[in-house]
Amino acid sequence: MPLIRYSIDNPLITNLTLLLVLVAGVISWYAMPQEMFPLIELDRVTITTEFQGAAPAEVERQVTLPIEEEFDGEADIDTLMSSSSEGLSSIIIELKQGSDVDAFLDEARSIVDRVTDLPEEAEEP
């Protein structure tokens, strides 16, 4: 309560303090380092396959599981999440911290190319 009473009794000092905080905020905002194109390390790979007209269970059995099985045992994978919906299979692979994303992306392409038992109606992953 003493701070509120002091502010009411001394409006000039209160307004000058507010102005000082505002000016310090604006100066700090301009002094912050800004990058036009900041470097962002992406550590995820997404594999999407369309299988038009197929039920979710069929997409999972014929598309999602064969692709997941090919990635089983890879050293750089931290988590592997998948979802199968009507006509669409989506697999998200999160890599371990410090993994080489470009090298894994090339490896993932070759792993996906090894999957040969996908249905003919399914698009290329």
Q: What is the pLDDT of residues 16-57, one digit of tens each?
A: 999 999 999 999 999 998 888 877 777 888 999 998 888 999
DSSP output for 56-90: HHHHIIIIIHHHHHHHTT-TTEEEEEEEEETTEEE
The pTM (predicted TM-score) of the whole model is 0.64
